[in-house]
Structure 1
Amino acid sequence: MCESKLREIFRKHYGITIYQYMLNRRMEHACELLSVPDAQVKDIAGLVGYSNISHFSDAFRKKFGCTPSEYKRGLPF
């Protein structure tokens, strides 16, 4: 199957692009990792595929409306 056909089928089936799906999964995984009390945001950024913590923080804020640090502070430990 060619790449363009795969993208088309994926978008019809899921209603989002493959890139959007992957970004959503990365952010969901980041939320799970942020719930670990001793986990640091810089380490989580690397674990979910970001080499630059600022890019991770920007993507997280765009998705959830707060920074990863703000999200983590709001969790009950």
Structure 2
Amino acid sequence: MLRNVANIDAEAVVRFKRELRILTELSDLNVIPILAHGDGTEEDGIWYAMPLAKASLLDVAKEFKATCRRSPT
């Protein structure tokens, strides 16, 4: 969340809004969706909310690597 937008570089705000727009348009199994967002037009600032991921990419990679070691070749 970008809280105090007035003190943040204008380019950073533009970039955040662009990324927010792109993320809201994406629909892919490999991308966590945006549930809700504020684009700075209201008092609540610029923010977005996503579901909590069940694991990190590192966790998944470790599990995959461990599974590969257990599998017979």
Report the TM-score when normalising by structure 2.
0.31
Q: By percentage of residues, which structure has more strand?
A: 2
Report the TM-score when normalising by structure 1.
0.30
Greater relative CO, 1 or 2 (CA 8 Å, sep 6+): 2
Q: By percentage of residues, which structure has more helix?
A: 1
Structure of greater Rg:
2
